[in-house]
Each structure stands twice: as C-alpha cells, then as structure tokens.
C-alpha cells in the first residue's frame, strides 16, 4: 500500500510500534557504533530486566495472563463476527511455550475450508522483522554489520545524492531513515517492474535529509536485503530458508510467492465489496520479498516468536547471535512524534516497531497489510516473555490489531479498556480514501470538448516510470504503461483532462490524466495524477 499515511496509521498511530530496553554485547561480533544499544553482557539480561528503567508500576497478578489466554476465543469470535473477515489464526507464546494456537473461520469465503494452525497466510509487512532476523544471523557471523554501506555489495545501487549513495547502510534502510520518500518504488511494482529495475530507478526519487527523516520504504528494505544476499552469494529467498526457516523447522514458511500459491492449505486474499467479502485479487509480492513477500502459518510464526523472546535461542540452541538480534529491537528513528507534550512517541528499530505502553512496558510489534486482501500483526512484551501473532485473510479493517490490543489489555490491566475495533476501523478506513481531485465528483454535464484523438496519441517518456503510449482503439483512447504495456482506457472528463482507473495494490479508484498543449496542434506533456505523488508523474512526448 502506497499511501503516505500508512506507516503512521499502521505502525504508529495504532500504538503497536515497539522497542527493546535490554541491549547486549558479545565478543565474537565486531562493534557497530552506528547501530548499537547500550552494551551489557548477555548474561546480565535478567538483571537488566529488573532495573528501574525496565520496571512497570502496573503489576500483573498471578493467573492474569492465563485468564487473558482463556478469553481469546470469545474476543476473536466477537471481532470476527463484527467485521465479517473470512478467517483468522492466532498463536500465543509465553515463557518459551506455545500456549495457544487456533484458527477461526474459513480460508476461502463460500467454502468450508477451515483455517487451522498450519494454514498459510501472506504476511505482508511482517516480512520486515522476519527479514531483519535473517540479516541478524549474517551480522552475527561477522560477514556484514548493520553499518555496512549497501554499495559494498549492491554496487549499482544509487540514490539521487552522491553522499547518501556512498554512505547509506543496511541499518539506514531497515530503519527507514535513508531519505527516500514514503513507499518509494511501490507504484513501479504496480506497473509490473521487477525487483532489479525498481531498485535501479530509486536513483530518480527525491531525497529528504539523510538520517534525519523517517519514511517507510518497502524497496529501501529490499535493497538492504539484496546487499546481504549478495554478500552470501545466494538469492535472498534461499538465504532466508537456509539461515532461519530450516533451522527453526518453519516448514510452511517461504519468501517465494510460488510456494504460498502451491500450498494446499493457503488462505486466499479477500476484500470487502459492499456488505460482503470476495476472494477477488492475487497479490504477487516477489519484487519486494524481503519487505512484504513472506508467507507463513501461526505454527511457524510461534517458533519465530520463541526465537525473538529468547534473544536468538531456540530449544536451548543459539540460532542467532544475541547482540546482532537485539540490535534490531533498539529504537533508531522516531516514527511517530507526540501530538502533544503529554503524548507518547513511538519508534522504529531495524525492521521492528518499538513503543512504550500504558503500563510503562516496552513492546515490540509490526503490522502488515495488503489492500488486496491481507492484514497481519505481531506483538511482544519482552519483560513478560509473551508474544502473540494474528494473521487474517481480509483487507485491513483493524481486526488483528483489535484482537491483540484487547488481549494485551487483559494481560496488563485485567479488562479491555476501549473498543479497539471501532478505533482501528476508523483509522484503517482512511487508507482507502481516494486523494484524486476527480474522486466522488459527478462528471460535468457540458464538459469542454477534447481535441481530435490524433492530437493525443504517441509515445511519452519518463525517466522513472519509463515510456507510456497513448493509442487509439475502437472504443477510444487507451494508455499503455509499464514493461508489460498494461492497458488503461481513458475516458474524457473535461477539455484536455481524461480519467482512468489504476490497478494494483496502491489503486484508490479514479485518477486524472492531464495533457498540456505544445506546438503544431499536438500535446507536449501528459501528467498522470496518481503517479505524481513525488512530482515524478509528468511524461514528455518523444516526438
């Protein structure tokens, strides 16, 4: 999803950005001064957890966590009924034990295909903390560090600033502080460009001040992951399998869409159409696999939660070096500034959200969303060795966030504090508001007529989006975009403005296409409104 508000609504305003207070050092990992928490020994983590800085004034009475777990069935069933989302799966880990794992609803609306703990869902942006765990494994071996420049291994990577190009690191991109604009590259993916070409075209994006601005970027994360994969001499998808999924026994987890697609127990994506839900779209996120392309089950994600809460150990064995993993959960950027002087801020680590909750405890979390039909959330209370994951097969309406917020209220405070579903529902509804000036407008009764079709047809060039063609067909003008020449019929709106309907993850509905006259009775430029968010949407006629 490409809306500028998304990282704030999903990762900050929903109060699920989380952090870490215990940060440790190990003698076998090179010191990383750019991305390091306060150094303490791994053996002192339990003492650190008892320090005043880690204390909460709101104690959790014995049995209260168990009571919250027992209440989960009712919470999930109520929120599922209120939203109509076809299916959801929930797992809870406590004290290194999976204490709850259950599916509700169906994998595909209109069928009796039940969701269970092994049902495979597309994770969307939960792929980021999963991918950061993969990189932590490589960092722990000493081959790369979080402050390794991306260009050391991704030699053709370039940003619009030579200084940023030379200096941007793995950690800069994983903490969204490279200066790239919000969701840079996502619209290229919608048009059919592949990973390599999208990363190449990031050099045309305007940059905000380097290391001073938070802006959530799927393809920034993807560039960092690609650099690490190249340092290991293998594809990112294979690296993830070898260093994380296989050692943890995550047999249903993959970073390849084809593996999800071929699973006999997969949950299809669903969107709400009017008052019902439809399995209408397919989302192939391979081009941004490190940022949004992982698929998994709650049974597998529970294993990942155990690894996280045990600081890199699984079944007593070290899988990930503790220091390298804990670095991912330290706050490096403020992702959501306080609205008032008495509001809490939230932060972003390396692929992980960080926040401090109403009880004064550190939380780690991340949400994921595909507008085409998925919504997912993970959250952890490291002080309580407690983690929860919620995966759904419906477009983002706040369901997984509401379930987890209600559960954590019960854990920490003993009762659900507010109607989380109503709150999150209103926030997520804003994601689907079309910013086009044509949205919700009635076509003019007497628009100014267009010129002859021949005045518009031709090839128009754009360094970022590539060439576009306007051709005349029997039904009128058609716009061809992207490497696969996707066809979009143009409908006259007024004078030299036409409308069209974009497609893909970031499509909001109707958008405008404006032509500007040149010499000789033909048009010189074409501006595509929904592609112009970063002032890159103007195409110039070739000749």
pLDDT at 199: 98
**Tally of CA atoms within 13 A in the half-sphere of 258 that contains its CB:** 1
Question: Rounded CA gap, 426 and 479, in Å?
Answer: 35
Residue 250's contacts (CB-CB under 8 Å, 6 or more residues apart) are 244, 296, 300, 303, 304
* DSSP state letter for 406: H
375 burial via Cβ count (<10 Å: 0-12, 13-18, 19+): buried
Instruction: Kindly tell me the sign of the dihedral angle through the C-alpha atoms of 294, 263, 121, 271.
Output: positive
56 burial via Cβ count (<10 Å: 0-12, 13-18, 19+): middle
Please report which helix (H) or strand (E) contains residue 274, including its range: none
Q: How many CB atoms lie within 10 A of CB 42?
A: 16
Radius of gyration over alpha carbons of the chain, in Å?
24
pLDDT at 267: 98
Instruction: Kindly tell me the sign of the dihedral angle through the C-alpha atoms of 156, 160, 165, 168.
Output: negative
- Among the listed residues 426, 362, 418, 370, the one whose alpha carbon sits nearest the alpha carbon of residue 398: 426
* DSSP state letter for 11: I
Question: Rounded CA gap, 514 and 251, in Å?
Answer: 50
DSSP string over 277-307 = EE-------GGGHHHH--EE-HHHHHHHHHH
Question: Rounded CA gap, 244 and 253, in Å?
Answer: 10
DSSP string over 368-384 = EEETTTEEEEEEEEGGG
Reduced to 3 states, what is the DSSP secondary structure of residue 478?
A: strand
Reduced to 3 states, what is the DSSP secondary structure of residue 434?
A: coil
- Among the listed residues 285, 307, 452, the one whose alpha carbon sits nearest the alpha carbon of residue 378: 307
**Partners of 389 in the beta sheet?**
91, 378
CB 139 within 8 A of CB 29: yes
Q: Decide the pairing of beta strands 24-25 and 40-41.
A: parallel
Reduced to 3 states, what is the DSSP secondary structure of residue 451?
A: coil
pLDDT at 26: 33
Measured torsion, CA atoms of residues 23, 27, 29, 34, in degrees rounded to the nearest 10? 50
Reduced to 3 states, what is the DSSP secondary structure of residue 147?
A: coil
**Partners of 520 in the beta sheet?**
none
Q: How many CB atoms lie within 10 A of CB 392?
A: 31
**Partners of 101 in the beta sheet?**
91
Question: Going from the N-terminus, what domains does the chain have, and what CATH number goes with each?
Answer: 6-432 (3.40.710.10), 453-541 (2.40.128.600)
- Among the listed residues 390, 350, 388, 363, the one whose alpha carbon sits nearest the alpha carbon of residue 374: 390
CB 344 within 8 A of CB 121: no
- Counting other chains too, the contacts that 428-432 makes at CB distance below 8 Å and 24 or more residues apart are 428/9, 428/10, 428/369, 428/396, 428/397, 428/398, 429/397, 430/5, 430/9, 431/1, 431/3, 431/5, 431/6, 431/9, 431/369, 431/371, 431/396, 432/371, 432/508
* DSSP state letter for 120: B
Q: Give how far Cα 289 sits from Cα of 170, 195, 220, 286, 453, Å.
A: 16, 9, 12, 5, 41
Reduced to 3 states, what is the DSSP secondary structure of residue 93?
A: strand
pLDDT at 5: 37
Sequential pLDDT tens for the chain (543 residues): 544 334 334 444 444 333 333 333 333 333 444 676 654 444 445 555 567 777 788 999 999 999 999 999 999 999 999 999 999 999 999 999 999 999 999 999 999 999 999 999 999 999 999 999 999 999 999 989 999 999 999 999 999 999 999 999 999 999 999 999 999 999 999 999 999 999 999 999 999 999 999 999 999 999 999 999 999 999 999 999 999 999 999 999 999 999 999 999 999 999 999 999 999 999 999 999 999 999 999 999 999 999 999 999 999 999 999 999 999 999 999 998 888 888 888 999 999 999 999 999 999 999 999 999 999 999 999 999 999 999 999 999 999 999 999 999 999 999 999 999 999 999 999 989 999 999 999 999 999 999 999 999 999 999 999 999 999 998 899 999 999 999 999 999 999 999 999 999 999 999 999 999 877 777 999 999 999 999 999 999 997
**Backbone φ and ψ of 424, nearest 5°:** -65, -35
- Among the listed residues 439, 444, 454, the one whose alpha carbon sits nearest the alpha carbon of residue 493: 444
Question: Rounded CA gap, 47 and 317, in Å?
Answer: 22
CA angle 357, 361, 362 (to 5 degrees): 85
End-to-end CA distance of the chain: 35
pLDDT at 457: 93
């Amino acid at each position: 999803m490409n809306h500028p508000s998304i990282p704030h609504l999903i990762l900050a305003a929903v109060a699920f950005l989380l952090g870490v207070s215990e940060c440790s050092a190990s003698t076998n990992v090179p010191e990383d001064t750019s991305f390091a928490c306060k150094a303490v020994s791994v053996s002192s983590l339990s003492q650190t957890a008892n320090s005043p800085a880690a204390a909460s004034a709101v104690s959790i009475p014995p049995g209260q966590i168990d009571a919250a777990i027992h209440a989960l069935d009712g919470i999930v069933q109520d929120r599922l009924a209120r939203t109509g989302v076809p299916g959801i799966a929930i797992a809870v880990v406590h004290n290194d034990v999976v204490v709850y794992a259950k599916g509700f609803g169906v994998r595909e609306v209109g069928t009796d295909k039940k969701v269970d703990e092994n049902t495979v869902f597309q994770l969307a942006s939960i792929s980021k903390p999963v991918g950061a765990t993969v990189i932590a494994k490589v960092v722990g071996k000493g081959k790369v560090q979080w402050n390794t420049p991306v260009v050391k291994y991704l030699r053709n990577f370039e940003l619009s600033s030579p200084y940023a190009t030379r200096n941007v690191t793995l950690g800069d991109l994983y903490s969204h502080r490279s200066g790239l604009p919000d969701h840079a590259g996502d619209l290229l993916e919608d048009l059919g460009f592949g990973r390599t070409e999208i990363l190449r075209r990031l050099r045309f994006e305007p940059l905000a001040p380097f290391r001073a601005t938070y802006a959530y970027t799927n393809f920034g994360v993807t560039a960092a992951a690609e650099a690490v994969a190249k340092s290991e001499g293998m594809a990112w998808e294979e690296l993830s399998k070898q260093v994380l999924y296989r050692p943890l026994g995550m047999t249903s987890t993959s970073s390849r869409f084809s593996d999800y697609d071929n699973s006999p127990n997969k949950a299809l994506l669903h969107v709400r159409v009017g008052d019902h839900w439809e399995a209408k779209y397919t989302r192939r996120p391979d081009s941004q696999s490190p940022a949004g392309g992982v698929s998994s089950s709650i049974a597998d994600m529970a294993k990942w939660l155990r690894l996280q809460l045990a600081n890199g150990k699984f079944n007593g064995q070290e899988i990930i070096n503790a220091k390298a993993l804990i670095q991912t959960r330290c706050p490096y950027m403020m992702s959501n500034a306080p609205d008032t002087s008495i509001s809490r801020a939230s932060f972003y680590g390396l692929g992980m959200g960080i926040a401090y909750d109403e009880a004064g405890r550190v939380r780690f979390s991340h949400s994921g969303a595909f507008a085409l039909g998925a919504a997912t959330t993970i959250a952890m209370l490291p002080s309580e060795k407690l983690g929860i994951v919620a995966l759904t097969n419906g477009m983002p309406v706040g369901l997984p966030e509401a379930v987890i917020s209600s559960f954590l209220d019960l854990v920490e405070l003993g009762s659900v504090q507010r109607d989380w579903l109503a709150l999150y529902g209103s926030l997520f509804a804003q994601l689907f508001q079309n910013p086009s000036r044509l949205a919700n407008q009635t076509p003019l009764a007497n628009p100014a007529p267009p010129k002859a079709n021949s005045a518009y047809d031709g090839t128009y060039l754009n360094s970022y989006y590539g060439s576009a063609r306007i051709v005349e067909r029997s039904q009128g003008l058609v716009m061809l975009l992207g490497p696969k020449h996707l066809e979009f019929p143009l409908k006259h709106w007024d004078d030299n403005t036409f409308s069209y309907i974009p497609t893909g993850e970031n499509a909001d509905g109707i958008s405008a296409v404006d032509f500007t006259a040149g010499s000789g009775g033909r048009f010189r430029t074409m501006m595509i409104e929904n592609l112009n968010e970063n002032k890159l949407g103007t195409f110039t006629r070739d000749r």
